[in-house]
A and B are shown apart, each in its own frame.
Chain A
Amino acid sequence: MPEIAFPPVDASILAGRDAILSGLAAILPREALIADVAGRRGFETDALTAYRRLPLAVVLPRSTEEIARVMKFCRDSNVNIVPRGAGTSLSGGAIPQEDAIVLGLGKMSRILEINLADRYARVEAGVTNLAISEAVAPDGFFYAPDPSSQLACTIGGNIAMNAGGAHCLKYGVTANNVLGVRLVTIDGEIVDVGGPELAAGGLDLLGLICGSEGQLGVVAEATVRLLRAGEGARPVLFGFDRVEDASRCVAAIIGAGIVPVAIEYMDRLAIEICENFAQAGYPLDVEAMLIVEVEGGEEEMAAELAKITAVAKAHDVRTIRESMSAMESAQIWKGRKSAFGATGRVADYICMDGVVPTGRLPEALGRTGEICAAYGLRVANVFHAGDGNMHPLILYDVNDAAERRKAEDAGADVLRMCVELGGALTGEHGVGIEKRDLMRRQFTDADLAQQMRVRAAFDPRWRLNPAKVFPLDARAA
């Protein structure tokens, strides 16, 4: 697979840069516009750091009205817009180009309303995922989706990518937990879609907006569901001597009619990296480990764990370690959630996000290992096993261009394999620029054309996050 391509830059936009800057300066406060090179550098890439492009300008609006002014201006001036939350996208969803302005939501980080009686919170799009749960935790509530980057990532970005997390096995992903958005269209119109209520009227545009990668409009505010946390929660570590036993155990737990809050999988390399980083107490002498979390009252948790343990024993589990305290539980989750960061300290890596039916996990893990070995690369597997959402971290040396290509090729092979096994290219990271050119593996031309027509219903001239999601040549076709 060739290196990820960028479309040619629109020279007419570049030529008009001065007029664009003065136009933006006229509608925004001085501090909301970044035009200098040093300032723009901070917005040239996201968590897909191998790729970077300097944007034409960066705007950091502080209100929905300011977003609306920017959108209208950009539509009238034919400028491309790349919306951005915290820039934690692993698929390049927030990477701009020279002919685009970055519209950053970082200054819109207020929690506007918390309503525990009606179990929702209304927040600005730049609020971090974790900030919502932290704000309501003292009252026993939480916001369910919990991507590993939840300390940094924003709810706006979560909506754009339909983010998941470890606990969505039971509680669903972003689309299942967002009740409404205030969307600013490319025409600068402010539209409320959904609201605090559980059922909206008309077409489910909210379901469409979740996961649309910033191509339908800019989400300025969101109304999210708050859930009451269980009485208690307890993660348990199950260590296995064989990878196949661990992956079969996942399918067997679910097949037994048990839906734990989370089932996370880590292989030997991932365990070692995370344990070194977080001292979470992971077993270092096993080939694979599952973190299974149950919740409820003491007796309920004990009963559910007994059922899960019986299944694990039937799959030759070697070590079982139950968390004995809140602090221990926190360490266990800290180890898991820092997997990407901890791996980054050991080596450069690309993180894949393919999904397979849970029954195909043993095969998918085996083939992932074979694919990476064939390229002479190491791979660490740490992922949401309960819903089949794999995250192979393919290790490489960023200073070795040939090795980087190999890693990208291996990643693409893994994703093709996921689709072949009946799965999907991406479970929670989004397509971005990274998987754009693999979309034809999962979709027919008619499927893609339908998606693109829906996209054009919102943004007829493709100004919003162009060159993402769809193969570059698809639009012309």
Chain B
Amino acid sequence: MTALDSAAEAPADEAEAGRIVREARARGEKLDIVGGGTRLGLGRPAEGARRLSTSRLAGVVFHEPAEMTLRVKAGTPLAVVEAALAAHGQTLPFEPIDHRALYGGAGEPTVGGLVATNASGPRRISAGAARDSLIGLRLVNGRGEAIESGGRVMKNVAGLDLVKLNCGALGTLGLVTEATFKLLPRPQSEATILLRRLDDEAGLAAMTRALASPYGVSGAAWIGPDMGREFSRTILRVEGFPDSVDYRAERLIALNADLGARHALSGEDSQRLWRAVRDAEFLAEPPNRAIWRVSLAPSKAPRFVARLGADALAHFFDWGGGLVWLASEPTEGAAVRLRAALAPLGGHATLIRAPDALRARVDVFEPLNPALASLTRRVKASFDPDGLFNFGRMFAGM
């Protein structure tokens, strides 16, 4: 039975969630956690017998604009959160990727899905990942117990940090019910500097130079030719107060005058381009291609792509080269060759989009060495002794 035609439970609170989990545990029934259903394509295919939905765990618990903190229930649509923050000139710092560009589908992304996937965008290089802004969470573990970790303050080192551990765990450790974030002021202004017609190696060099400058670059991407323009684009973003943005944009243009840098975009045009980078829109079509997200030391990015040869059908860089987005044929052979090409360089490759059958057969996440696999298995068991939650979504057999 696949997840989609199985029965769904939608608890209204933690107590009910706890009861459902305990009953499932008693019956030996596995549970697949779903929020808005927009990120189900990430990870290995669901194997559970029953769905556990966060749809009734919704709503902002508090937003303290003067403290720059927000606590929200897991099933809350991200659009609701963004609107509440925008009303106070604030935003989630990490530009969460919206996976709908790659997966299609009509659902609404939720906070729970964002936490489960550590959904982070271009601003990762300056403001951190989702896990860096997540300061507290509540979850129901595989024993049906409600657990809290972290809190609502910016700094908190009391006890083990189970917050980051659950961020990006794809719901394999428990049902996250609430998340607390630290926020940033929404940038009042932004500017994007454009360098045209650089190959990926030259683009990387330009990004590296910009990121070694003191001008606070908050986005650095290289977009290949034939992705929206016939020429390649290396783009650098600065954000902040308008005067400061103008000043730093000028400095960056001067720094890259030898490469023909020019101020290209600001305001909504700039935002639209960075959304496209964030969501990997350039690779969305054709829809049958496999999509990979590879994190590695930036200087190795061009070499990695070169090693792939014809297997790299299209690619672009985010995070100043530290993130390679890449399209390949949706075949086992291409997957094996990609991991082999990455291995000597070091880094992590995640198969973001592929047909279920392929994601069931190949490693979706970077395979673990035996020591890490054993730690992962034991940590999973410490939350979820019977492997109820999202079994097999991250790694086969756990």
A residues engaging B (CB < 8 A)?
115-120, 139-141, 161-162, 164, 168-169, 172-173, 175-176, 185, 189-191, 193, 195-208, 210-212, 228-231, 251-252, 254-255, 257-259, 296-297, 299-300, 303-304, 355-359, 384, 387-389, 422-431, 435, 439, 442-444, 446-448, 450-451, 453-458, 469-470
Contacts and interface: CB of A to CB of B under 8 A. Distances in A.
A422 B151 contact: yes
Interface of B: 64-69, 89-90, 118, 120, 124-125, 128-129, 131-132, 141, 145-149, 151-165, 167-169, 172-173, 184-185, 208, 211-216, 241, 243-244, 247-248, 251, 295-299, 319, 322-323, 346-350, 365-366, 368-369, 371-372, 375-376, 378-383, 394-395
B378 A355 contact: no
Contacts of A229: 214
A231 B149 CA distance: 38
B153 A356 contact: yes
A234 B373 CA distance: 47
A355 to B, nearest CB: 4
Given A118-B297, A191-B371, A454-B162, A299 B211 contact: no
Contacts of A469: 159-160
Contact of B159 (A210, A451, A453): A451
Contacts of B67: 251, 254, 357-359, 388
- Most chain A CB neighbours (cut-off 10 Å) among B173, B296, B369, B375: B375
A175 B131 CA distance: 10
Given A299-B243, A454-B162, A176 B212 contact: no
A412 to B, nearest CB: 14
* In the complex, the 4 A-B pairs of residues with the closest C-beta atoms, listed nearest first: A207-B164, A255-B66, A201-B366, A427-B155
Contacts of B132: 172, 175-176
- Most chain A CB neighbours (cut-off 10 Å) among B132, B154, B164, B383: B154
Given A202-B365, A202-B394, 8 more contacts: A117-B208, A199-B129, A210-B164, A228-B213, A257-B89, A389-B154, A427-B154, A453-B383
A191 B159 contact: no
Nearest to B322: A198
A176 B124 CA distance: 11
Contact of B165 (A164, A205, A303): A205
B366 A202 contact: yes
Contacts of A448: 159
A124 B371 CA distance: 21
Contacts of A164: 155
Nearest to B149: A447
A300 B247 contact: yes
Given A198-B295, A200-B295, A202-B365, A450 B162 contact: yes
Contacts of B165: 203-205, 207-208, 454
Contact of A140 (B89, B145, B214): B214
B141 A450 contact: yes
B392 to A, nearest CB: 14
Nearest to A223: B297
B69 A175 contact: no
Contacts of B156: 355, 424, 426-427
Given A116-B212, A204-B131, A446 B145 contact: yes
A196 B323 CA distance: 12
A197 B141 contact: no
Nearest to B168: A204
Given A118-B299, A231-B214, A168 B155 contact: yes
A422 to B, nearest CB: 6
A207 B215 CA distance: 29
Contacts of B365: 201-202
Contacts of A119: 211-212, 298
A207 B214 contact: no
A424 B153 contact: yes
Contact of A161 (B157, B212, B383, B395): B157
A161 to B, nearest CB: 6
Contacts of B131: 204, 207
A264 to B, nearest CB: 14
26 contacts: A115-B299, A172-B128, A175-B161, A191-B369, A191-B372, A196-B346, A198-B129, A198-B322, A201-B350, A203-B165, A203-B380, A204-B164, A205-B165, A205-B376, A300-B244, A355-B153, A356-B153, A387-B154, A422-B152, A423-B151, A424-B151, A427-B155, A454-B379, A457-B379, A458-B378, A469-B160
Contacts of B208: 117
A176 B90 CA distance: 21
Nearest to B169: A203
Contacts of A425: 158
Contacts of A199: 118, 120, 124, 129, 295, 323, 348
B378 A455 contact: no
B145 A118 contact: no
- Most chain A CB neighbours (cut-off 10 Å) among B158, B164, B167: B158
